[in-house]
A and B are shown apart, each in its own frame.
Chain A
Amino acid sequence: MAEALLFYTLAALILGLGVMVVSARSAVHSVLFLVVNFLLVAVLYVTLNAEFVAVIQVLVYAGGIVVLYLFVVMLVNLKKAPERFSDPRRLARSGLLLGGVVLALIVVVVSSSLRAGMASEGTLSGFGTPFTSGNTEQLGWVLYTSYLIPFELASMLLLVAMIGAIVLAKRHLGD
C-alpha cells in the first residue's frame, strides 16, 4: 500500500515535471524542472534498491550535466524574445508520429513484461551477479571484471568528448 502510494506519487511528479521541462517558456525554468525531475528519478532508483545508481544520478546528472546546461542557457539565452513554436503542420505530423511511437512502445512493453513475468521462475538471471541491497561493492566488482572493456571504452569516450568540447569552445585554435 505504502509502496504503491509512493510509486504513484513519484510517477505523477516525474511525468508532470517532464511536461513542464518540455513546455516551459523560459529555458532556465526548463533546466530547473529538469533538475527536480532527475532528483525524483533518483528517489525512484532508491525504491528499486539501486542506491549507487541513485547517487550517481544525483552526482553526475543533477550536479554535473544539468549545471552545464544551465551555464550554456545563461551564456546564450540572456536577452532573447520568447521562442516561437513550430507551425501547425509540423505539430500535426509530430502528433501522428507520436501516436505510432506510443502504440509501438506500449505493445513492446506489454509483450516484454509478459515474457519477463513468465521468465521470473529464474531462468533469465544467469547472466550477471545476483545482488542484495547495498550493492556498491558488487556493482564495482561486475564493472571491473565482466564489463572491463566497455568500461575502458566509456572512459575513452569521455576523454575524446572532453578534448572535443575544448576544441569546439576555444575561439581560435593555436593561441
Chain B
Amino acid sequence: MLEITPLHYSLLSAALFMIGVIGVLVRRNVIIIFMSIELILNAVNINLVALSDQLQDLAGQVFVVFVIAVAAAEAAVGLGIIIAFYRNKETVNIDEIQIMRW
C-alpha cells in the first residue's frame, strides 16, 4: 500500500478516464463534453508518463507531447465548430445538434 507502483498510477488513470466518459455521456453542454474529453486525454497521459518512468524509456513522454499537440488541434477546430454552430442556432445543447445541414 505504501509503495507506489505503476499499478497505482494506472488505477488513477482508469478512474480519471471513467470520470471523463461519464462527463461525455451525461452532460449536454457541448463545451463541457469537450472538457471531459480533455480529462480522458489527461488520464491517458498520466499512464504514459508513469510507464515511461517505470520502463526508463522516453517514448512515453514523446507520445505525451504528441497527445498534447493533437489536443490543441482538437480544441481549436472543435471550439471553432461550436462558435459557428452557436451563431446559427443560439444553443450549445448537443441534443439540438441533430440535423446535418439547414
Contacts and interface: CB of A to CB of B under 8 A. Distances in A.
Q: Does chain A bind chain B? A: yes
Interface of A: 1, 3-4, 7, 11, 14-15, 18-19, 21-22, 27, 30-31, 34, 37-38, 41, 44-45, 48-50, 52-53, 56-57, 60-61, 64-66, 68-69, 71-73, 75-77, 83-86, 90-91, 94, 97-98, 101-102, 105-106, 109-110, 112-113, 116-117, 119-120, 124-125, 127-131, 135, 138-139, 142-143, 146-147, 150-151, 154-155, 157-158, 160-162, 164-169, 171
Interface of B: 1-23, 25-29, 31-32, 34-36, 38-39, 42, 45-46, 49-59, 61-62, 64-66, 68-77, 79-84, 86-87, 92-93
B12 A102 contact: no
Contact of A45 (B22, B49, B57, B74): B49
B62 A139 contact: yes
B59 A128 contact: yes
B78 to A, nearest CB: 9
A137 B12 CA distance: 29
Contacts of A155: 69
A50 B54 contact: no
A149 to B, nearest CB: 12
Contact of B26 (A77, A94, A158): A94
Contacts of A154: 66, 69-70
List the 7 shortest-distance A-B pairs measured between CB atoms, nearest first. Answer: A168-B80, A161-B73, A22-B23, A94-B25, A165-B80, A128-B59, A18-B19
Nearest to A131: B58
A158 B73 contact: yes
A69 B75 contact: yes
A165 B76 contact: yes
Contacts of B18: 98, 101-102, 105
Contact of A18 (B4, B20, B25, B79): B20
A60 B45 CA distance: 14
B18 to A, nearest CB: 5
B76 A68 contact: yes
